[in-house]
């Protein structure tokens, strides 16, 4: 199977899909905490997590969502909007799989992707929709209106 970047440069089509998986461990969560300054006790203390109705320590929602940008960068996606819906906690040490499906691909590389993240038990932990431009399909002067990458 061709690599992400190679597939993106070969003219993507609606229906194309991409998958990436990652296990976020305590070290990842500690590093993200330093950058985000989000010191939620449920990230580090099992007793606090259980008191907050979790079964174990949880990962930052935005750390988990970073899998979205991992795939986006690999296919040359320049995002201008993303909607995230967290449906279940992602627990520390769970293998999280992010699955992108390109729903639409229009003029000048404008695209919409449906994104689902699941844990190793197959439960959905996040649904998302991303809108943006596939840079390999856009003309150099066609990126107007983009406010910020995803």
Burial call 22-37: b when 16+ CB within 10 Å, e when fewer: bebeeebbeebbeeee
4-137 adopts what CATH topology? Answer: Thiol Ester Dehydrase; Chain A (3.10.129)
pTM of the model: 0.79
Q: What values do phi and psi take at 103, rounded to 5?
A: -80, -45
- 52-107 pLDDT tens trace: 788 887 787 888 999 999 999 998 899 999 999 999 999 899 999 999 999 999 88
pLDDT confidence band for 131 (50 / 70 / 90): very high
pLDDT confidence band for 45 (50 / 70 / 90): confident
């Amino acid at each position: 199977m061709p690599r992400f970047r190679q597939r993106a440069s070969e003219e993507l089509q609606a229906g194309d899909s991409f998958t990436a998986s990652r296990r976020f461990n305590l070290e990842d969560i500690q590093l993200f905490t330093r950058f985000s300054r989000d010191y939620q006790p449920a990230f580090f203390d099992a007793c606090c997590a259980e008191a907050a109705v979790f079964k174990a320590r949880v990962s930052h929602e935005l750390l988990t969502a970073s899998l979205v940008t991992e795939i986006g960068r690999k296919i040359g996606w320049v995002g201008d909007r993303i909607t995230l819906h967290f449906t279940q906690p992602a627990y520390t040490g769970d293998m999280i799989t992010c699955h992108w499906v390109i729903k639409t691909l229009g003029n000048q590389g404008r695209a919409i992707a449906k994104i689902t993240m699941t844990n190793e038990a197959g439960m959905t932990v996040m649904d998302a929709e991303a809108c943006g431009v596939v840079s390999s399909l856009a003309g150099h002067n066609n990126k107007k209106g983009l406010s910020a990458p995803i």
